[in-house]
Amino acid sequence: MMPVQRDDAAARAELSAATSPWGFVARVLRPGAGRLAVAVVALGAAAVVHMVLPWFLARIVDEGLVARDRGALLSWSLGMFAVSLVNPVCYVIGYRQMALAEAEAQRRTADWLTDRLGEQAGRDGRRAAAGDMVNLVTGDNQATASMHWTVGHGAMNVIAFVLGTVLVWRIHPWLGVTLGLGVVATTLIAGPLLGRLQRRQRDYRDELADLAGQAADVTAGLRVLRGIGGEQRFLRRYRAQSRRLRDSAYRVTDPSSWVQALQQAVPLAYLAAVTWLGARLALSGAISVGELSGAFGYATGLIMYSGSLLGNAHAVVAAHVGAGRLVAAFASGRGVPRGGGEPVHGGDPRDARTGLAVPAGKLTVVVADRTAAAADALRRLAGHDGPDAGVPWGGRPLTAMGPRERRGQVMLLADDDYLFGGGLRDVLNAADDATALTALDTACASDVLVQLGGTLDGAVTDRGRNLSGGQRQRLTLARALAARPPVLLAVEPTSAVDATTEARIAERVAAARRGRTTVVVSSSPLWSAAADHVARFTGAERPAAGGRGGLVVTRARKGAR
């Protein structure tokens, strides 16, 4: 039976509560604790089997070969063979559980990053640099999620090392003391190196994020740079940053190479010391030849496990650095409400600053002297600006909804929405092809379909660069319509189209969205003519005493549906 995993939404919410790297790592590991426990048990069993095999070897030598007892030789050999069959089964179970737990953790953290990025951009308008996001989602996320492997392997290594040391001690105390002193010496040497490695890895990750950000910026604006003659300037900046990254990487290799050297040298030192001491004890008659063989087998096994322990320490340093960057990237957004409030019933949604009320199931057009003020009101209504508990949608406040549920219920269509590249079908992301085609027709974007070969498989480049400005705007509107959200809030969705097309879009959107709540910020009389309600802003943001502040008139259109 597979371990039951915790709810993803709750797990993502816990990630936001982390205030330290270790706290973040703990929250990354917690949802996969069931899988991790199975992996630890399975790999622990594999370690026990591995370290017990030399004990069988000692019995084979002493009771079978030295004593010339064929029966004992056969029985101990069969026992050793039977026990060794357990190893591959345990490894398969353990590795499978760790791989699944790590993959789930990476996906969960990537989803959390998406939620946090949206909240941060909505709250203060800041957008994370592309390079930072690439490194956070890939390198830092992977390093943190790999703690599942580190914990599983670490538990296996500790179990094997402790058991091996005990078994060696039982052969002769001096052999056990030798291994114990080796562990202490390794800790004293590796500790300072790991501290230096952690600091330098943090600097290296920061430099790498800066370089990736520059590369993303240059790639996105390469045509513009060539047009204004700025290509060489950015090339020089990129080369300078690349050299700084190279130098930072060299600084990382100093402590890292020493850790790698210890990882290879320390186990060999264990093997040499145990073998030499065991041989002297065997010559003196303190231990038997079989026990010497067993001690050599234990030492050989400890080579692998002690070296792997140093590798685990290296991975822990990388995970701590990655988790620290993930926590710091969105530390400023912890004040955003995260859900869990009680439902609020009664009344239309209303923006407290402007008094804008949104009648449910109607098309409301907001005409503003300053589009930015009306757009800010819609951002607050959409929950992109730390929504108040008094803004309910469908009887529930936005603070009672998680980010994903909120986006599924209330969609904000802004003029700077990103248009991702891909097939037209993927860009629209509709439930089916019929819905996609209907959305294109409603947004008067059928010409986009024709231009891309008359098929939904036609390719749209990143940011829609193979389309005109008007086509990009209409395609973005079609994407929002294809999602069919219960509430659609749009800011100037037709500012780049001609009047005839705008009139058709307004009428078609009004018909297609009948019965669904729609708010459009537009100064065009064509939208006002199609609206059920019209609200006009003068530009003030706070309501005057006893009044509506910037909202000076609200009327219902004659013949409203």
Q: Of 310, 228, 235, which Cα lies nearest the Cα of 268? A: 310
Cα separation, 534 vs 527, whole angstroms: 9
Same domain for 303 and 381? no
Q: Which residues of 295-317 are buried (b: 16+ CB within 10 A; e: fewer)?
A: bbbbbbbbbebbbbbbbbbbbbb
Residue 425 placed within a domain: yes
The helix/strand/coil state of 520 is strand
Give me the pLDDT at residue 519, please.
93
The helix/strand/coil state of 397 is strand
Q: Which residues contact 209 (CB under 8 A, 6 or more apart)?
A: 129, 131, 132, 134, 135, 136
Same domain for 147 and 195? yes
Give me the pLDDT at residue 445, please.
94
Ordered strands of the 551-556 beta sheet? 410-413, 487-491, 517-521, 363-368, 533-537, 551-556
Amino acid at 443: A
Same domain for 49 and 102? yes
Give me the pLDDT at residue 551, please.
44
Residue with tokens 């009887």: 395
pLDDT tens digits, the chain, 561 residues: what are they?
Answer: 344 444 555 655 566 666 788 888 888 888 888 999 999 999 999 988 888 888 888 778 877 787 787 888 888 888 888 888 888 899 999 999 999 998 888 888 887 777 766 655 545 444 555 556 666 777 777 888 888 888 988 898 888 888 888 888 888 888 777 776 766 666 666 656 666 666 676 666 666 766 666 666 666 555 555 666 666 777 777 778 778 777 777 777 777 777 677 766 776 777 777 778 878 887 888 877 777 777 777 777 777 777 677 677 777 877 877 788 788 776 644 433 333 333 333 346 777 777 787 888 889 999 887 888 888 888 888 877 654 444 556 556 665 666 666 767 788 898 778 888 899 999 998 989 999 999 999 999 999 999 999 889 999 988 888 888 889 999 999 999 999 988 899 999 998 889 999 999 999 999 999 999 999 999 899 999 999 988 887 655 543 323 333 444 444 444 444
Same domain for 87 and 217? yes
Same domain for 301 and 370? no
Q: Which residues contact 223 (CB under 8 A, 6 or more apart)?
A: none
Q: Which residues contact 374 (CB under 8 A, 6 or more apart)?
A: 366, 368, 491, 521, 537
Domain boundary, last residue among 287, 307, 331: 331
Residue 350 placed within a domain: no
Phi, psi angle pair for 445, to nearest 5°: -110, 25
Residue 499 placed within a domain: yes
Q: Of 336, 338, 333, 366, which Cα lies nearest the Cα of 351? A: 366
Alpha helices by DSSP H, listed for 17-146, are 21-29, 33-59, 70-84, 86-124, 130-135, 141-145
Same domain for 306 and 442? no
The CATH number assigned to the domain holding 403 equals 3.40.50.300
Domain boundary, last residue among 308, 331, 354: 331
Q: Of 503, 510, 504, 508, which Cα lies nearest the Cα of 525? A: 503
Same domain for 324 and 392? no
Same domain for 492 and 369? yes
Domain enclosing residue 101, as ranges = 9-331
The number of domains in the chain is 2
Q: Of 312, 199, 324, which Cα lies nearest the Cα of 255? A: 199
Give me the pLDDT at residue 459, please.
92
Give me the pLDDT at residue 403, please.
62
Same domain for 314 and 375? no
Same domain for 409 and 548? yes
Same domain for 468 and 392? yes
Same domain for 272 and 369? no
The CATH number assigned to the domain holding 61 equals 1.20.1560.10
CA atoms within 13 Å, Cβ hemisphere of 504? 12
Domain boundary, last residue among 310, 331, 352: 331
Which tokens in the block code for residue 556? 């219902």
